[in-house]
């Protein structure tokens, strides 16, 4: 995605995040990317970063910077806000891109020197800004084997580095580290209105760049797949739609047979179609489409998800809801009924029944609608939405007393938000509810200084 395209970042306030995960889901903030001037600025930064790529005959100027980055990659303990993470969090986007360019250049030159040595026994050196570097010195710096240099394969480094930069993105997002990487700028919007601007970090973008270099095939690599799953879930849970858009686009290209990549693409566009985002973009120039067009895109992605993985129940739930938006009530009800029967996950059960009730009502099936709403209410007794739905159903059929009775549990609920719980409030971000588990799984192979 180009940097001048309008995107959205939805993120809860820091204080909410620090307290509890539950509160993390509540007050949502929306950020829209700047167009125009910021696009030019981003483009200029990109050009500047690329311009540091050393030419084949030039000495490598940034060897010490590369050494610092590789040392941090090696020493960072995944999941910990440690010294290496703190050190790299202070780097700019320019420095990160330059370090990566230097690594690739050094690997190329080391490969060239090694080839020449193998052919002629000539012991050449690599010119750097810090003096000549021997092949042994380059190998020591890169921590790569002869075979890896011969294959120009930095997979072990980039995988571990991708975990470091995933951690940095997470820590910055949670407010545990201050970002200096300076990705593209965004508008900040809260409760349906723009309230300022912000700059998002560059670490997810940088992680994608790194993992593209995994050999032999990044798309077929299990760690790469898990990295995209965990990161997409985390961005979804944070409501980081600005990050999720280019992320899912890249994931679909890299992992064309991944149901997960299709699923999160669907979640992104379903969220774009939601009232909270549609409200936020009113009067704003943006590439985000109308509720209908975004919903159609979401439907396409959810159908592709199911085609790749017919057992992907959450995709069926979301497909059902997009069909409902399109007014295809019978099709929607069929999908939602299938979900309600197929899963034990209480979150999915709740959403399936609540949405199923609405579709049954639209089809004129009053009793079925009531049953579905009641099942949703039983799954989340402190939720207001099922009772509102039940009340509305009664009132729609002329039962005033029934409407009042059905509403009463809502009016009896405590007023304090901390004592309330309605999964509907978190629907947009609930697809990311397993982010912590996935991040833990991603970090596990790299714990204790292990380099795969």
User: Which lies closer to other proteins via its Cβ, residue 215 or residue 404?
Assistant: 404
Nearest approach in angstroms of CB 73 to other proteins is: 40
Nearest approach in angstroms of CB 192 to other proteins is: 5
| Cα angle 64-69-71, degrees, rounded to a multiple of 5 | 90
Cis (ω within 30 of 0) for the bond into 216? yes
Nearest approach in angstroms of CB 260 to other proteins is: 27
User: Which lies closer to other proteins via its Cβ, residue 414 or residue 448?
Assistant: 414
Nearest approach in angstroms of CB 335 to other proteins is: 19
Nearest approach in angstroms of CB 315 to other proteins is: 22
- Answer yes or no: are the C-beta atoms of 163 and 78 closer than 8 Å: yes
Q: Which two tokens stand for residue 134?
A: 């021997």
Give CA–CA dist 122/315, Å, rounded. Answer: 59
User: Which lies closer to other proteins via its Cβ, residue 26 or residue 87?
Assistant: 26
User: Which lies closer to other proteins via its Cβ, residue 389 or residue 439?
Assistant: 389
Nearest approach in angstroms of CB 306 to other proteins is: 26
Helix axes 291-308, 259-272, angle to 10 degrees: 160
User: Which lies closer to other proteins via its Cβ, residue 40 or residue 396?
Assistant: 396
User: Which lies closer to other proteins via its Cβ, residue 265 or residue 391?
Assistant: 391
Nearest approach in angstroms of CB 377 to other proteins is: 12
- Sheet containing strand 185-190, edge to edge, reads 8-10, 29-33, 185-190, 193-199
Q: Which residues bind other proteins (CB under 8 A)?
A: 26-28, 190-193, 275-276, 279-280, 282-283, 354, 384-385, 388-389, 391-392, 395-398, 400, 403-404, 407, 410-415, 417, 420, 422, 424-425
- Answer yes or no: are the C-beta atoms of 267 and 297 closer than 8 Å: no
User: Which lies closer to other proteins via its Cβ, residue 263 or residue 426?
Assistant: 426
**Burial category of 206 from C-beta neighbours within 10 Å (exposed 0-12, middle 13-18, buried 19 and up):** buried
Nearest approach in angstroms of CB 318 to other proteins is: 17
User: Which lies closer to other proteins via its Cβ, residue 101 or residue 317?
Assistant: 317
Nearest approach in angstroms of CB 29 to other proteins is: 9
CA distance from start to end of the chain: 31
User: Which lies closer to other proteins via its Cβ, residue 146 or residue 292?
Assistant: 292
């Amino acid at each position: 995605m180009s940097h001048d395209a309008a995107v959205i970042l939805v993120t809860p306030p820091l204080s909410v995040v620090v307290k509890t995960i539950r509160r993390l889901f509540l007050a949502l903030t929306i950020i829209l990317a700047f167009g125009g001037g910021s696009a030019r600025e981003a483009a200029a930064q990109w050009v500047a970063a690329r311009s540091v790529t050393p030419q084949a005959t030039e000495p490598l100027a940034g060897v010490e910077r590369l050494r610092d980055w590789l040392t941090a990659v090696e020493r960072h303990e995944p999941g910990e806000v440690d010294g290496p993470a703190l050190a790299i969090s202070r780097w700019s986007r320019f420095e990160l891109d330059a370090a990566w360019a230097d690594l690739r250049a050094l690997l190329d030159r080391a490969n060239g020197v090694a080839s020449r040595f193998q052919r002629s026994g000539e012991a050449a050196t690599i010119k750097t800004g810090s003096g000549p570097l021997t092949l042994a010195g380059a190998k020591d710096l890169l921590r790569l084997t002869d075979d890896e240099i011969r294959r120009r394969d930095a997979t072990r480094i980039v995988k571990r580095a991708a975990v470091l930069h995933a951690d940095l993105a997470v820590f910055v997002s949670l407010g545990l580290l201050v970002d200096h990487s300076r990705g593209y700028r965004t508008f900040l919007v809260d409760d349906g209105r723009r309230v300022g601007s912000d700059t998002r970090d560059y670490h997810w973008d940088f992680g994608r760049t790194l993992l593209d270099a995994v050999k032999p095939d990044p798309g077929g690599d299990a760690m790469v797949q898990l990295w995209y799953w965990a990161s997409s879930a985390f961005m979804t849970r944070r409501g980081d739609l600005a990050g999720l858009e280019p992320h899912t686009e890249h994931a679909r290209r890299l992992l064309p047979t991944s149901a997960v990549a299709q699923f999160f693409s669907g979640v992104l566009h379903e969220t774009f179609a939601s009232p909270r985002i549609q409200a936020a973009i009113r009067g704003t120039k943006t590439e985000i489409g109308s509720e209908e067009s975004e919903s159609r895109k979401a439907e396409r992605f959810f159908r592709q998800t199911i085609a790749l993985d017919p057992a992907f129940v959450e995709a069926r739930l979301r497909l059902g809801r997009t069909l409902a938006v399109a007014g295809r009530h019978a099709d929607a009800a069929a999908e939602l009924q299938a979900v309600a029967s197929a899963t034990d996950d209480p979150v999915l059960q709740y959403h399936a029944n609540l949405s199923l009730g609405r579709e049954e009502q639209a089809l004129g099936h009053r009793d079925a609608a009531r049953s579905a709403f009641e099942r949703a209410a039983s799954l989340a007794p402190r939720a207001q939405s099922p009772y509102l739905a039940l009340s509305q159903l009664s009132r729609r059929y002329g039962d005033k007393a029934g409407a009042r009775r059905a509403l009463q549990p809502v009016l009896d609920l405590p007023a304090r938000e901390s004592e309330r719980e309605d999964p509907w409030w978190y629907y947009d971000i609930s697809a990311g509810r397993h982010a912590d588990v996935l991040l833990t799984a991603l970090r596990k192979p790299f714990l204790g200084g292990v380099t795969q």
